Amino acid sequence: AENTLADIVSHAKEYGFVFPSSEIYDGLAAVYDYGPYGVELKNNLKQLWWKAMTQLNQNVVGIDAAIFMHPLTWKASGHVDGFSDPLIDNLDSKKRYRADVLLEEKAAEYENAGDQARADALLAEMGRLLTAEDLAGVKQLILDEKILCPISKTANWTDVRQFNLMFSTQVGAVAGDSSQIYLRPETAQGIFVNFLNVQKSARQKVPFGIAQIGKAFRNEIVARQFIFRMREFEQMEMQFFVRPGTEGEWYEHWKETRRRWHEVLGLPADKLRFHDHDKLAHYAKAAVDIEYEFPFGFKEIEGIHSRSDFDLTQHQNLSRKKQQYFDNDVNPETGKPYGNYVPYVVETSVGADRLFLATLCQAYQEETITEGEGDKQQTKTRKLLRLHPAVAPIKAAIFPLVKKDGLPDKANEIYNALRHDFRLVVEEKDSIGTRYTRQDLIGTPFCIAVDHQTLEDDTVTVRHRDSREQTRMPISELHGYIAQAVSP
Ligand code: ATP
């Protein structure tokens, strides 16, 4: 049977991956906390991304910019005027909806009923109205489609209004317009405003990139689907600065590079697809989403955008500081250096939390297994996380077979020899079968059993999570064995 999102949510909670925020107060909508295994898994994903972007590319360097930025940043980026969702309220239920989401759900209904043409037509009409900012038209479409409030089964809608998604707060002691600032809704702008600082201090030449991992905040209205859409989330973004005219090649390069990265870490090719944006933002030359097939359908996990010189030019205009680069490579057509220009940008932007959710959905499996021999043979269901060892929270669990005869000491000796390089645990309690089960549930790829033979010949039994096969191995080989498995 297919796993549902509910299975994932309850597994994540029960086994220490993700908890609702402030749960003892009944939680806070669309905000979540990562538990002991969740934080390890998320850190692994972030470190692997960071390594793939910076360590493996000499021409990509990192920064860590502040969450608070000068308010003009968001004027320049277009977020003050344009970063909004069309909202509509139902007067009976007093529930608030995103108008575009109501229409998308209606289109999905047509699609599921086999009427693709009608679904496409509805989405096209919605796109046209939203682009033209015809909010009255959007409301009319909702009425024409006879969309009812899902709660009260009525169509008693207000007008559609644009609602800005940025959270604002005050700096300093005095509240007022001049001290209003925003929590950043994306990490990208911290990169753009530091473009020249980074280029000069790290002595980079175009083409080069700047990578950043950090929190972003959006006052999302439709907060559903667990950590897929959060109000506080984490982004991993890279802006790649290129000479105008070369952005097409770099766009293709990063599109393929990023897709391969997801595949290497365990998202299978048949559950990933590219989805080209039909409607492009006014500054964009091309934009594509990498989508993963979640239990609730194919949805975006990463965006790759060819953004032209829009952002740097906007910052140049508002800050009145030149955002230019002098390129002394010789242009073969003119025989002279390319000279001064505002670079073009190709961006890759992935949500750490969405990637986490995709990873968890992919890894979570329930399978039927047969255990024991002869009369004692029995069939049971096994739940496990088939995580790539590189992302697994715990790389190996060490089990002394019994709590005596010096076996726990031997287990701790192995732990101490390996703990500097790998996240490990030693578990002494319960039967060995129960201990295996517990590790399967959190996705530990290897369990190392220490028995009486270990004391004689320094070998251990390594049990493999996915196949449940066991192999005997000298302790001296463990390090190399785990190291190989956890490198992607
Ligand atoms: P969506 O259409 O799903 O709202 P978006 O197109 O607004 O996403 P971008 O602005 O391109 O998203 O952000 C880049 C990435 O950041 C997304 O691919 C996603 O992984 C992540 N992201 C965006 N919004 C959220 C959110 N509210 N919660 C979790 N991750 C998010």
Q: Which residues contact 408 (CB under 8 A, 6 or more apart)?
A: 400, 426, 428
Tens-digit pLDDT profile for residues 433-485: 999 999 999 999 999 999 999 999 999 999 999 999 999 999 999 999 999 99
pLDDT of residue 282: 66
The torsion defined by the Cα of 45, 50, 55 and 56, in degrees rounded to 10, comes to 70
Q: Is the CB of 301 under 6 A from ligand 1?
A: yes
Residue 65 has pLDDT above 80, yes or no: yes
The residue to mutate among 187, 229, 304, having the most atoms of ligand 1 within 8 angstroms of its beta carbon, is 229
Does any ligand 1 atom lie closer than 6 A to the CB of residue 352? no
Please tell me the predicted confidence (pLDDT) of residue 396.
Answer: 98
Phi, psi of 29 (to 5 degrees): -55, 135
CA torsion sign for 188, 192, 194, 198 is positive
All residues at 6 or more sequence positions from 286 whose CB lies less than 8 Å from its CB, including other chains = 248, 251, 276, 280, 305, 306
- Phi/psi for 181 (5° steps) reads -130, 170
H-helix segments, 113-212 = 116-131, 135-144, 188-192, 195-201
Closest CA to 27 of 295, 231, 332: 231
Whether residue 264 has pLDDT greater than 80: yes
Q: What is the pLDDT of residue 314?
A: 97
Burial label for 253, CB within 10 Å (0-12, 13-18, 19+), is middle
Task: Convert 370-412 into a string of H (helix), E (strand) and C (coil).
Answer: EECCHHHCEEEEEEEECCCCCCCCCCEEEEECCCCCCHHHHHH
Residue 382 — very low, low, confident or very high, per pLDDT cuts 50/70/90? Answer: very high
Give the mean pLDDT of 39-51: 98
Q: Measure 364 CA to ligand 1 centroid, in angstroms.
A: 23
Instruction: Report whether residue 290 contacts ligand 1, using a CB cutoff of 6 Å.
Output: no
Q: Tell me: cis bond preceding 393? Omega within 30 of 0 counts.
A: no
Report how far apart, in Å, the C-alpha atoms of 112 and of each of 105, 109, 147, 237 are: 10, 5, 16, 35
What's the 348 CA to ligand 1 centre distance in angstroms? Answer: 12
Q: What is the ipTM of this complex?
A: 0.98
Question: Pairing between strand 396-400 and 424-426?
Answer: parallel
303 close to ligand 1 (CB < 6 Angstrom)? yes
Distance from residue 420's CA to the centre of ligand 1 (Å) = 36
Tokens representing 26?
């009944």
Instruction: Please name every residue paired with 448 in a beta bridge, in sequence order, or none if there are none.
Output: 398, 462
Q: Which of 225, 349, 350, 361 to mutate to test the pocket of ligand 1 (most atoms within 8 A of CB)?
A: 349
Contacts of 96 (CB under 8 A, 6+ apart): 87, 88, 89, 90, 221
User: Would the CB of 287 count as within 6 Å of ligand 1?
Assistant: no
CB-based contacts of 200: which residues, under 8 Å, 6+ apart?
Answer: none
d(CA 480, CA 488): 14
Range scoring the smallest mean pLDDT among 51-55, 94-98, 298-302, 413-417: 94-98
pLDDT: which is higher, 193 or 94: 193
User: What integer pLDDT is reported at residue 177 of this predicted model?
Assistant: 62
Binding residue ranges for ATP: 218-220, 228-233, 300-301, 351-354
Residue 321 makes CB contacts below 8 A (sequence gap 6+) with: 315
pLDDT of 163 > 70? The answer is yes
Residue nearest to atom 9 of ligand 1 (CA): 303
Atom 30 in ligand 1: which residue has the minimum CA distance? 351
pLDDT reported for residue 323: 97
Residue 51: other Cβ atoms inside 10 A = 11
Q: Please answer whether residues 337 and 266 qualify as being in contact, where contact means their C-beta atoms are separated by less than 8 angstroms.
A: no
Across 191-205, 221-235, 274-288, the highest mean pLDDT is recorded for 191-205
Backbone φ/ψ region at 27: left (φ over 0), alpha (ψ -120 to 50), beta: left
Q: Out of 99-113, 258-272, 426-440, which region has the weakest mean confidence (pLDDT)?
A: 99-113
182: three-class secondary structure by DSSP? strand
CA gap 474, 488 in Å, rounded? 24
Q: Does pLDDT of 98 surpass 80? A: yes
Ligand 1 in reach of 235 Cβ (< 6 A): yes
Q: What is the pLDDT of residue 279?
A: 66
What's the N-to-C CA distance of the chain in angstroms? 29
Q: Which residues are annotated as a binding site?
A: 98, 186, 218-220, 228-237, 300-301, 347-354
Pairwise CA distance, residues 442 & 366, whole Å = 13
Q: Which residues pair with 289 in a beta bridge?
A: 275, 303
Per-residue pLDDT at 1 exceeds 60:
no
Q: Please report, as a single letter, which amino acid is at residue 371.
A: E
104 lines ligand 1 (CB under 6 A): no
121 alpha carbon – ligand 1 mean position (Å): 25
Kindly give the distance from the C-alpha atom of residue 389 to the centroid of ligand 1, in angstroms, as a whole number. Answer: 27
Return the pLDDT at 95: 87
Residue closest via CA to ligand 1's atom 25 equals 229
Question: For ligand 1, is residue 302 a contact (CB within 6 Å)?
Answer: yes
Question: What's the CA gap between 56 and 258, in Å, rounded?
Answer: 13
Determine the average pLDDT of the residues in 37-55: 98
Six-digit token pair at 434?
């129960």
| Ligand 1 atom closest to Cα of residue 355 | 20
**What is the average pLDDT across 123-134?**
91
Average pLDDT of the residues of the chain: 94
Question: Virtual CA dihedral for 49, 51, 57, 61, nearest 10 degrees?
Answer: 90
